[in-house]
Amino acid sequence: MATYRPYRRMAARGRGEGHRVATPLELFFDLCFVVAVAQAGARLAHALEAGHAAAGVSGYAAVFFAVWWAWMNFSWFASAYDNDDVAYRVATLVQIAGVLVLAAGVPRAFDRGEFGVTAIGYLVMRLALVGQWSRAAHGSRGRERVAAGRYAAGVAMCQVGWLVLLLPPGPVPWWAFVVMVAAELTVPVVAEAACPTAWHPHHIAERYGLFTIIVLGETISAATVAVQTALDRHGGLGELLPLAFGGLLIVFAAWWIYFAVPIHERLTSNRRAFAWGYGHYAVFASAAAIGAGMEVAVAEAVGTAHIGARAAGAAVTVPAAVYLFTVWLLHARTVKRGLAQQLTLPCAAVLVLCCTPAGRAAVPLAGGVSALTVVVGVALAARGGRTGARTAG
């Protein structure tokens, strides 16, 4: 176990620091987010099964933004200022507690539009984060202090806005939610304009990769539980085996394609890093939604969903297509050479969507398309003279 001092000045770390990897505390932080992701996915599946697609998708998008943004806030701060002292560890554990409160409030927010519990959870997380940024400002000098101070002030003001918006009973106007999301996304832009923080490209890329693995793991878990529940209640594997196999192929291909490119080499500026980091909302949300879609497909196959086979198939094919396209947009297109390599993932996304009308066969067909995408990517890479059999997309 690494040694650490009880308290040390919170100064910025260097972007060129060698051997920078995720810490055990960061991994613990990510694992605790699985609870919130699972809650959001379960409520999405429930809404889709009941035929409430519009309400389910909009609720999922809002709740997942809260989860993703809380994770983003911590991850980028830690990449720049993690000093691993007692105060830092305690503040991080407090943020984890806030995540668990947020997760506990997801069903109420989804089903009844009551955001009080989620707002309290967010308040706990953000108070700890404001304290961290204030420590960073105190331990920094010059423009670095200005940037950290802007982060602390911006996060605090946004949190006040959320409390005003979410704590009163009653539905939240969609336009007010959009305004608050825009305000949140603007805070890093304004703060970094004073002085770019010292986030570490390799470290932040690893953090995003680890969270992608966790989300994909939650997708497998959700699908497994759905199949197990269906077997316990209805028995028989005839309808479920093709779904399970197709879903597994989709998740395996999703992992392969994401990690085909060492993206940290491309994070050379704040402009690139911000676009890449913000764009991962779609990557994470679609990856988790695949698991929810698998739950819906299983429920339809055993006759417990109130939707048709095509709608159940779309619950898997749509997020899978979104995932393939956004991974291409953020990762693959920056390194692919030639028209064939550039078109592999976009074409795969279109083909996955085209599987939707097949109804119950949509998931296994989409799984076959996803697996074929990996094969084509590997073949094109080999033909292009690139080494490494794991390269695809």
- What are the tens digits of pLDDT across the range 58-84? 989 988 998 999 999 999 999 999 888
Same-domain status, 42 and 128: yes
Provide the angle, in degrees to the nearest 10, between the axes of the packed helices 53-81 and 116-139. Answer: 20
pLDDT at 355: 97
Q: Report the half-sphere exposure of 111 (CA within 13 A, side-chain side).
A: 11
Same-domain status, 64 and 175: yes
Same-domain status, 270 and 302: yes
Same-domain status, 150 and 291: no
* Residue whose C-alpha is closest to residue 243's, from 209, 288, 293: 293
Q: Please check whether residue 392 lies inside any domain of the structure.
A: no
Query: Of the residues 194, 211, 227, which one is the last residue of a structural domain?
Result: 194
Q: Please check whether residue 298 lies inside any domain of the structure.
A: yes
Map residue 357 onto helix, strand or coil.
Answer: helix
Distance in angstroms (rounded) separating the CA atoms of residues 78 and 139: 15
Q: Please check whether residue 18 lies inside any domain of the structure.
A: no
Same-domain status, 352 and 232: yes
Q: Contact, 343 vs 224, CB < 8 A?
A: no
* Residue whose C-alpha is closest to residue 75's, from 187, 160, 200: 200
Same-domain status, 235 and 131: no
Domain total in the chain: 2
Q: Please check whether residue 368 lies inside any domain of the structure.
A: yes
pTM: 0.90
Helix, strand, coil shares of the chain, percent, nearest 5, are 80, 0, 20
Same-domain status, 234 and 292: yes
Query: Of the residues 159, 194, 229, which one is the last residue of a structural domain?
Result: 194
Distance in angstroms (rounded) separating the CA atoms of residues 39 and 110: 10
Domain residue limits at 49: 24-194
Q: Contact, 350 vs 318, CB < 8 A?
A: no
CATH code for the domain of 234: 1.20.1410
Same-domain status, 91 and 115: yes
Q: Please check whether residue 19 lies inside any domain of the structure.
A: no
Angle at alpha carbon of residue 158, lines to 93 and 24, rounded to 5°: 20
Alpha helices, DSSP H, located in 195-269:
201-234, 240-258
Which residues of the chain are under the pLDDT cut of 50?
Answer: 1-2, 386-392
Q: Please check whether residue 322 lies inside any domain of the structure.
A: yes
Same-domain status, 214 and 336: yes
Q: Mind giving me the DSSP string for 80-101?
A: HH----HHHHHHHHHHHHHHHH
pLDDT at 260: 85
Same-domain status, 93 and 223: no
Q: Please check whether residue 389 lies inside any domain of the structure.
A: no
Same-domain status, 300 and 190: no
Q: Please check whether residue 349 lies inside any domain of the structure.
A: yes
Same-domain status, 49 and 188: yes
Query: Mean pLDDT of all residues in the chain?
Result: 88
Query: Of the residues 167, 194, 221, which one is the last residue of a structural domain?
Result: 194
pLDDT at 388: 43
Per the listing, tokens 């200022």 go with 81
Distance in angstroms (rounded) separating the CA atoms of residues 167 and 198: 35
